[in-house]
Amino acid sequence: MNEPFADLPATGAPPDAPVPGFAVTKIQPPQARASLIARANLEHRLGAALASRRLTLVCAPAGFGKTAALTRQLGQLSADTTLAWIGADVDDDLHRFLRCLFAALEPYDLPWRVAPDALVSAAVNSRDARREVAAAVLNTFAGSEQSRGLVIIDDAHRIADPAVFEFLDLMLDRLPAHWGLVVSSRFDPPLALARLRALDELAEFRQAELRFARDEVVALLAASDARADAGQLLRRTAGWAAGLRLAVNAVRHGHANLAEARRVDRHVFDYLAAEVLDGMDEELREFLLGCSVLPELTASRCAAVTGNERAAHLLDEIERLGLFVSVIDAPEPTLMLNDLFRDCLAEQLQRTRPDCLPALLRRAADTEPDAIRRLSFLLRAGDWADAEALLVDVAEALLADGAVEPVLRLVDQFPRERIESSPTIAFIRGQAAWAQWDWRAMAASMTRARHGFAAVGDASRTRRARVFELIALCGDGDIDESNSGLAALDLEQAEPETRALARALTAWNAISAGDFRAVAPRYADALDILERIDGLHVWYQCFQRPLYVWFPGMREPIARFVDGVRRRTGDSPSQMQAIAWVMEAWLALWRGDIDTARVRVAHARDASRWLGEPNRIRMFVNCLLATLHAIAGERDAALDAVDRLIGYFEHAPVSGTGTQPTSMLAHYLYFGARLADTLGDGESLRSFASRVPPRARIKNIELLDAPLATLDARLATLERRWPDACATWSRALDDEAAIDVAGLAQEARLRLAFALLALERPADAAATLTPLLDRGLDDDDLGGVLLAGGAVLDVLAARDWGDALPAGGVSRLRRWARLSARCRRAGNTPVAAGTDRLSARELQVLERIAAGDSNKLIARALDLSPHTVKRHVANILDKLSVGSRREAAAWHAEHAAAPATGAARPSP
């Protein structure tokens, strides 16, 4: 026989398989036990509630058979019922809850319009975001074609995060009629129960409804082949399911103490369960005690935790004895202990073998595929070092998903003294602060992390913390300190990820300092390192300034960036993929290829919609759209995009530094004024210029100082104060490098020449244009020329320059004017690509939908990933303006003989 809790290694490597977001058993309902007796009255009422009520609440203390009642009912649901079962854990927050919900719904091919993963990321950010996510889920539910949909949350009392119930209330408020929510809990959940009662949309099953009646006790005794007085048993247990179960087992196995118990309640249950344990075979008892730390029991995990190689046999024995377990339908036979029985076992384990508990918990962690549960095991075991190491990986994944609050909640599970002393935790808190743009909190945390790592001789992490600390200084406007810190940092021995971030930081510092011509070579240095790193996470971290395209010399680095992202993302939609589409659109726009720019930005918008339009991507897309529409002469569309950009920063919350984001607000107000000038819209130009914050309130003023000074020149031109316009444009060009951003230096020369011609100074105008024309601008770098606007270019191209300009220069001016006119003509044609017609690939997917194929079958047939199929389905529903797969199939049947215009266009 194996010794109890054999001397196995207390710790070990986690499983080699990729760590899922949660244990899959959380979304698998327990099997209804064959030994359960029929309870006709309860089952009739419960079945009717599940079929019709918006909320069904099964609420009673432990042991009243809540889960058993629900699982028995599941077998009676119609075959086309959509069922999402979630077994709640104490570690469940909103982020984890939604991951479970969407995974449980995955098999049903619901018509998602936004990627479920993106909804998970967005929901944790704010109450407003939760409302938007709830609306997206409700729209998806409304478009589902099943006759009934149910979301069942078992053991909801374990959930401590109020955001989960806030989200559920939002769902309940407008849940479609063919969907219902079912909540099983030991006490009332914090939901709007009174309102639902008043609407007759709440069905409640409490102790009175769940208690066994006399005829049911008789049936239970008969089914169990136990001889006892049913009336006496009912009086002693008061119909309590757990007490009845224990009593019947005791009668069958001859336990005399039960007969002497006048009433079987929770305290008597603990006493009698302990007596049952004492009467067991020693091997089985020790095995059960050791396994009590596990949330689910499988032979492999139980053997690893207890060291007993006969685990499979013992689990069969536990199930045969009916020892308060449920069976879960999983690839490996899985049992789940009843909470009451588990609590009893845990109390005995803590009382009789407290020294064994840490080792058992560490072994449980070693075999746990759910990273959050594994972290909980390590924390309970007091294994702080391994818990911190795991937290690093978990936090990185969560932060990449935009989930800051869940990371901070995990940190708070550590003891306070550990939080204050651990450099690893300080580093994680610093990364969380970065995700919130809280530069001062980030700097403080990274400083603590750096000192802590240095104290233990960890040079690698000391350097990395220092780079993040310097990034925070840059973000907070302390460019000199950031630069001096970088200069003093020895990066020769640093890891590639650290060196890439440091090189990217040199480019960010150059931008903030207004040293625009240094940006391209510095970012190229970062790319030299990034291109040797396979993962995308560091690429994302190194791309914190999305308007790189505006700086001189950035065309080649941007092309390298796009290629690197494409190689690492494939066809999987992601924020980086959307950014790559926008960057390609910028490059096309900057060479005057407005048609290609429209196609690329349409792809970016499709990707952005599927990702839930995260703020960063939304701003990036709107910035491009505003510029594209302005160059195309589309005033309303351009100003609408600018207003969306400005509105975000005018209403942005106060940051961690205690100030409004006035630098970004000033940037986009200036940007709006510039585009208004391109459009010849004097009223909007004045409006934007008047709202620019005072210079003293703008951080990193070096970045904006020279461009902002050109506003006076634009206003003077608008008011035909030509001498003033000439003087201010000339001053701007005195330091041309300071305005060599987004083609402003090109535009300044063209506008100065235009003002000089208004003063009949053609020779001075020609002298102003000559450096620009002699430079032989590459046809791929004409953004600043196009932003000068058609009116300016037309005047310069139509001028008879005589001998003042060489023929080649005049020819170039005329070519630019023709290009501007072509862009404006393109602006008068409808936008088609990616918005109001289907691509060839989308038509293929639509044909499969019409044939009744599931997403899985479509993915297999077209050699696509399931994520890509879901994205195509969302695009199809959007473009056809339909709400469900059935409606899309009907559209296909109607239009199959006449494909949509442009359907032959190859998919990206």
CA nearest neighbour of 335 among 315, 363, 306: 315
CA nearest neighbour of 394 among 411, 371, 417: 371
pLDDT computed for residue 348 by the predictor: 84
Q: Which of 642-646, 720-724, 808-812, 824-828 has the lowest mean pLDDT?
A: 824-828
Question: What CA–CA distance (Å, rounded) separates 597 from 895?
Answer: 30
Q: Which of 1-5, 392-396, 541-545, 777-781 has the lowest mean pLDDT?
A: 1-5
pLDDT computed for residue 722 by the predictor: 96
Q: How confident is the model at residue 656 (pLDDT cuts 50, 70, 90)?
A: very low
Helix, coil or strand: residue 338: coil
pLDDT computed for residue 321 by the predictor: 76
The mean per-residue pLDDT over the stretch 197-213 comes to: 93
The mean per-residue pLDDT over the stretch 81-103 comes to: 93
Q: Which of 319-328, 441-450, 453-462, 576-585 has the lowest mean pLDDT?
A: 319-328
Please say whether the beta carbons of 4 and 306 come within 8 A: yes
Could you please report the per-residue DSSP string of 29-61?
A: PEEPPTTPPP-HHHHHHHHHHHHH-SEEEEE-S
CA nearest neighbour of 75 among 60, 85, 63: 85
The mean per-residue pLDDT over the stretch 599-628 comes to: 88
pLDDT computed for residue 270 by the predictor: 64
pLDDT computed for residue 631 by the predictor: 94
Question: What CA–CA distance (Å, rounded) separates 144 from 179?
Answer: 10
Find the farthest-apart pair of alpha carbons in the chain and give their distance in angstroms, rounded. Answer: 119
Residues of the chain above pLDDT 70, percent:
89
The mean per-residue pLDDT over the stretch 188-193 comes to: 95
pLDDT computed for residue 7 by the predictor: 38
Q: What values do phi and psi take at 52, rounded to 5?
A: -140, -25
Name residue, tokens 């005995």: 348
Name residue, tokens 């303006």: 881
pLDDT computed for residue 5 by the predictor: 41
Question: What CA–CA distance (Å, rounded) separates 724 from 755?
Answer: 9
pLDDT at 635 over 60: yes
Read off the tokens for 417.
Answer: 């003294």
Question: What CA–CA distance (Å, rounded) separates 799 from 367?
Answer: 79
CA nearest neighbour of 411 among 402, 400, 401, 424: 424
325-328 β-sheet, strand order: 30-31, 325-328, 334-337
pLDDT computed for residue 267 by the predictor: 57
pLDDT computed for residue 364 by the predictor: 95
Length of the chain: 908
Distances (CA, A) of 725 to 391, 670, 694, 733, 760: 59, 17, 22, 12, 14
Helix, coil or strand: residue 335: strand
Cβ burial 111-143 (10 Å sphere, 16+ → b, else e): bbbbbbbbbbbbbbbeeebbebbbebbbbbbbb
Question: What CA–CA distance (Å, rounded) separates 662 from 649?
Answer: 8
The 10s digit of each residue's pLDDT in 537-580 is: 888 888 765 556 678 888 899 999 999 988 888 776 788 888 88
CA nearest neighbour of 166 among 138, 207, 217, 131: 131
End-to-end Cα distance, the chain: 63
Read off the tokens for 402.
Answer: 């935009």
pTM of the model: 0.81
Could you please report the per-residue DSSP string of 381-437?
A: TT-HHHHHHHHHHHHHHHHHTT-HHHHHHHHTTS-HHHHHH-HHHHHHHHHHHHHTT
The mean per-residue pLDDT over the stretch 348-367 comes to: 91
Question: What CA–CA distance (Å, rounded) separates 438 from 447?
Answer: 14
Torsion of CA 732, 735, 741, 743, to 10 degrees: 60
Residues of the chain above pLDDT 90, percent:
51
Question: What CA–CA distance (Å, rounded) separates 631 from 5?
Answer: 74
DSSP state of 24: G
The 10s digit of each residue's pLDDT in 482-513 is: 999 999 998 888 999 999 999 999 999 988 88
Please say whether the beta carbons of 632 and 826 come within 8 A: yes
pLDDT computed for residue 235 by the predictor: 81
Read off the tokens for 596.
Answer: 């290609």
312 sits in which H/E element: helix 311-321
Sign of CA dihedral 359, 362, 364, 366: negative
The 10s digit of each residue's pLDDT in 243-294 is: 787 777 766 665 544 444 445 455 556 655 666 677 778 899 899 999 999 9
pLDDT at 424 over 50: yes
Q: How confident is the model at residue 38 (pLDDT cuts 50, 70, 90)?
A: confident
The 10s digit of each residue's pLDDT in 862-905 is: 888 888 888 889 888 888 888 888 889 888 888 765 544 433 33
Pairing between strand 325-328 and 30-31? antiparallel
CA nearest neighbour of 22 among 425, 535, 376, 335: 376
Alpha helices (runs of H) in 174-298, residue ranges in sequence order: 193-198, 207-210, 214-224, 230-237, 241-253, 256-260, 266-278, 282-291
pLDDT computed for residue 102 by the predictor: 95
Mean pLDDT score across all residues of the chain? 86
pLDDT at 209 over 80: yes
Q: How confident is the model at residue 833 (pLDDT cuts 50, 70, 90)?
A: very low
Question: What CA–CA distance (Å, rounded) separates 273 from 268?
Answer: 8
Question: What CA–CA distance (Å, rounded) separates 137 from 119?
Answer: 9
Question: What CA–CA distance (Å, rounded) separates 570 from 863?
Answer: 13
Question: What CA–CA distance (Å, rounded) separates 740 from 520?
Answer: 12
The mean per-residue pLDDT over the stretch 407-429 comes to: 95
Q: Across the strands, what pairs with 20?
A: none
Could you please report the per-residue DSSP string of 379-390?
A: HHTT-HHHHHHH
Read off the tokens for 708.
Answer: 């902002």
pLDDT at 3 over 70: no
Residue type, 290: G
CA nearest neighbour of 687 among 639, 634, 641: 639
Q: How confident is the model at residue 750 (pLDDT cuts 50, 70, 90)?
A: very high
What does R_g of the chain's alpha carbons equal in angstroms? 34
Question: What CA–CA distance (Å, rounded) separates 31 from 44?
Answer: 20
